Homo-oligomer: A and B are copies of this chain.
Amino acid sequence: MEIIKIAVDAMGGDHAPAIVIEGVVDYIRENQHDDGYKIMLVGKEKEINRELRKYKNFRLDRLEIIDALEEISMKEHFLTYWRKREKTSIKKAIDLVKNNKAKAMVSAGNTGAVMALAKTVLGSIKNIDRPALAIMLPTLKGTSLLVDVGANTNSKPHNLVQFALMGKVYLENIYSIKNPRIGLMNIGEEEVKGNELTKITHNLLKNLDINFIGNIEGRDVYLGEADLIVTDGFTGNVALKVSEGLADVMLSMLRREIMSNIFSKIGFFFLKRSLKRIKNKLDYAEYGGALLLGVNGIVIIGHGSSNAKAIKNAVYLSYKFISQKVLQKISQEIEKSKISLAELKHV
């Protein structure tokens, strides 16, 4: 049996390397009897070893450490990290995938840097012009996948069609959703509504052999009307970030109100578990992270504020991604789709 190797950027995230190591150790502990994988921790070797010494009773033989002298900080700009990129943990982890030494890489680091480096180093898989960032959103009915949340700033209709097909394969294979309901983010339900991009894309999706349910308005996203919502990276990024911001602000307001008097404090005591459950439902940590779909390798990008659970779940996610051969299936899906991509490109 081939051993599945997963590279984890030990230096990525607001609480790295401590939280990353904790998440990896948790993963190893939950899979004590599995000899079929190995995790390659990429980062400053000394710091990694110092963190590892905090833990006992886990299989150290499931780990490999790949030294990296540099790291890219969370908000570092392109121009400052690009020069030192070769020595960074992000680039080294991506190189492991490129050179087939790892099958997937996980980072909770600088999203822009991971995307830029992954796109440059790995390139796109066959039949895909532009990779897209996909993220699972919690909804009233369960979850929905939103693609693209920021890998592209200017998209064409044929890009959005590819996003839809990639998302479909992902949901079918990772979440076992058969024939997922696919919606197009738009500002009206009618087919004629929207901007040039959505009007043309609507027409293309309608003619594909997929379960296209039409336009999805912003209001319907969290109702769970679709399993997959396709949008351009600009709109998707704004929608995602606005949601995160609003959820935080609502919880802050609640906290402020609760602390304002004794009665609401009593109320909070009784409601605590309910509020916790809601917070968990909204928690990105459950879903492991965002996926850079379409690059020639598996790249999972965790939230900057990832906790150990998010890291652990990202490792689970990449394991499943590899064992289900999702990348190959994406290529096949687009190949077999009746749309001639050559034609679409000229739309």
Residues of A within 8 A of B (CB): 77, 112, 139-140, 150, 153-154, 185, 187-188, 190, 193-196, 198, 217-223, 231, 233-235, 237-250, 252-254, 257-258, 260, 263-264, 266-275, 277-278, 281-282
Inter-chain CA distance A234–B289, complex, in Å, is 27
Inter-chain CA distance A242–B250, complex, in Å, is 14
Contacts of A150 in B (CB 8 A): 187
6 nearest CB pairs, A to B: A218-B241, A267-B270, A267-B271, A257-B274, A218-B242, A222-B249
- Pair B187/A233 contact, Cβ less than 8 Å: yes
- Pair A278/B257 contact, Cβ less than 8 Å: yes
Inter-chain CA distance A264–B277, complex, in Å, is 12
With A154-B196, A271-B267, A274-B260: A243-B246 Cβ-Cβ less than 8 Å: yes
**A37 CB, nearest partner CB in chain B, Å:** 35
- Pair A153/B270 contact, Cβ less than 8 Å: no
With A253-B278, A254-B278, A274-B258: A187-B222 Cβ-Cβ less than 8 Å: no
Inter-chain CA distance A234–B217, complex, in Å, is 11
- Pair A237/B187 contact, Cβ less than 8 Å: yes
As for how many copies of this chain the complex holds, the number is 2
With A195-B153, A267-B269, A274-B258: A222-B234 Cβ-Cβ less than 8 Å: no
With A153-B195, A195-B153, A274-B264: A217-B239 Cβ-Cβ less than 8 Å: no
- Please indicate which of the listed interface residues A140, A242, A257, A278 has the most CB atoms of chain B within 10 Å of its own CB: A242
Contacts of A275 in B (CB 8 A): 254, 257
**A274 CB, nearest partner CB in chain B, Å:** 4
A264 — nearest CB in chain B belongs to which residue? B274
- Pair A239/B237 contact, Cβ less than 8 Å: no
Can you name 24 A-B pairs with beta carbons within 8 Å? A150-B187, A153-B193, A187-B241, A194-B234, A218-B239, A218-B241, A218-B244, A219-B244, A219-B245, A221-B242, A222-B246, A223-B245, A223-B249, A234-B235, A239-B239, A242-B242, A253-B281, A254-B274, A254-B278, A257-B271, A263-B273, A264-B273, A267-B267, A268-B270
Contacts of A246 in B (CB 8 A): 221-222, 243, 246-247
Other 8 A-B pairs with CB < 8 A, given A235-B235, A263-B273, A270-B270: A153-B193, A217-B241, A218-B240, A247-B250, A253-B281, A254-B274, A257-B278, A264-B271
